[in-house]
Amino acid sequence: MNKTPSDGNHGSVARSPELEVVKKKITYESAMREEGIDEVFVARKLKDLLRAQGRRWNPKKGSWEKFEDYYTQLAPLKEIAKIFDIYPTLEKGLGKRK
């Protein structure tokens, strides 16, 4: 009959300080930063999305045309407004009546 050690170690290798793995706390932020996703990266992506264009077929010309994709451009614009705290709030005077 095999007994399982009380520490939950099921392997046959004896535990030693050399084999101990130091657990590093990984957060979403640290993982993204490790992959190069930081504030500058996000700012560049938002800037690119502000210039988003779509393509649609023009049957009269028989070709594709580029057009401003305002729906796609709106999302980064909202995020930028949040970052700069542009939206008015009750504390800033929204809804106050004179």
pLDDT in tens, 81-91: 999 999 877 77
Mean pLDDT of the chain, nearest integer: 82
- pLDDT of 80 higher than 90: yes
Ramachandran sector of residue 37 (left: φ over 0; alpha: ψ -120 to 50; beta: rest): beta
Model pTM score: 0.59
More confident call, 43 vs 91: 43
- CA-to-CA distance for 72 and 52, rounded, in angstroms? 6
Residue 87's pLDDT is 83
Q: Is 90 exposed, middle or buried (0-12, 13-18, 19+ CB in 10 A)?
A: exposed
**pLDDT tier for residue 52 given thresholds of 50, 70 and 90:** very high
